[in-house]
Amino acid sequence: MVVPFGSARERRSRTTYRPTVAPEGSAHFHNVTGATSSVSRTDSEEVYAGRVIRAVIVDVDDTLCLTQAAALALENEVLAEMGRPPIPPHVHLSTWGAPLLDAMPIRSPGLDLARFTALHQRALERHVADGRLDVVPPENLRALDEFVLSGRKVFLLTSRTEAEIRHMLAPDHVLATRISGVYHAGNMRFRKPDPRAFDELLASTGLPPAQCVYVGDSPGDALAAGGAGLHFIGCLQSRIRTPADFDPRYVDAFVDAFPAIVDAVRQLDPVTPVSSG
């Protein structure tokens, strides 16, 4: 189901924001093979030359993958290994969306962060290998395929560190043929909710903010996208948040399941394909 928020379309001019990163030089991002990449026109893009949305940028946690419960289980496993008590679920929820090492002192006061980081990385690799973390459902992959087939570029943008996202960058990962680039804490100077979190992506691709939509699950995601001049679709599939948690000025639509973003983008971009002949 798609719930449109029409007021977002009139809230401000989306074309006034300019990234602070120069398009040339050090503005690089990970594509799924680890190489530098940029947006280029395809045959599909020529057919859809008149459309508005050219890039769909997707958050990872509780957007592309439902991860909050899995992350809590992972962190509690590490804490148990360290001889520490588990994180109360309500504390984990209250800090969900913050970078891991920013959140852990609140989730587990007095924690040895260096030791936790080392143990967490090993545990993360086990959980990924066992299919307990970062499993992208087939229906979400099909949604990404629809964007790719229509000529749109798909990117990931997350507050995770490179170590936390590295397994999703592998050339044999299911995202490899679907994602044009991945932005994370290792190749971004700023993190959400700072609107400058999108600087590297906008500079590297040369895309105007108005031709991009960010799909995320948190009010901070909406604030970052809105402040940068991007469209924003709120994915509420995790049931952690409701529309009332968001500033409506920065939300174009809400969806209750990730696959519904395909229709939500179509509603943002009701363009009739022009003939390629």
Mean pLDDT on 263-274: 76
Name the CATH code of domain 68-129 (choices 3.30.390, 1.10.15, 1.10.150, 3.40.1360).
1.10.150
Query: What residue ranges do the domains of the chain occupy?
Result: 2-65+135-268, 68-129
CA–CA dist 54, 38 (Å, integer):
13
Which of the pair, 98 or 82, is modelled with greater confidence?
A: 82
Q: Is the pLDDT score of 233 beyond 60?
A: yes
With H, G, I as helix, E, B as strand and everything else as coil, classify residue 124.
Answer: helix
DSSP code for 11? S
* pLDDT band, residue 6 (cuts 50/70/90): low
State pLDDT tens for residues 116-153. Answer: 999 999 999 999 999 999 999 999 999 999 999 999 99
Q: What is the pLDDT of residues 173-231, one digit of tens each?
A: 999 999 999 999 999 999 999 999 999 999 999 999 999 999 999 999 999 999 999 99
- Distance between CA atoms of residues 229 and 214, nearest Å: 10
CATH architecture of the domain with range 2-65+135-268? 3-Layer(aba) Sandwich (3.40)
Separate counts of helices (H) and strands (E) for the chain: 10, 7
Q: Six-digit token pair at 155?
A: 């990117």
Q: What is the pLDDT of residues 47-81, one digit of tens each?
A: 444 468 999 999 999 999 999 999 999 999 999 99
SS3 (DSSP) at 26: coil
Half-sphere exposure of 121 (CA within 13 A, CB side): 13
**Residue 263 vs residues 6, 150, 189, 246, 253: alpha-carbon distances, Å:** 15, 13, 32, 21, 10
Q: What percent of the chain has pLDDT over 90?
A: 77
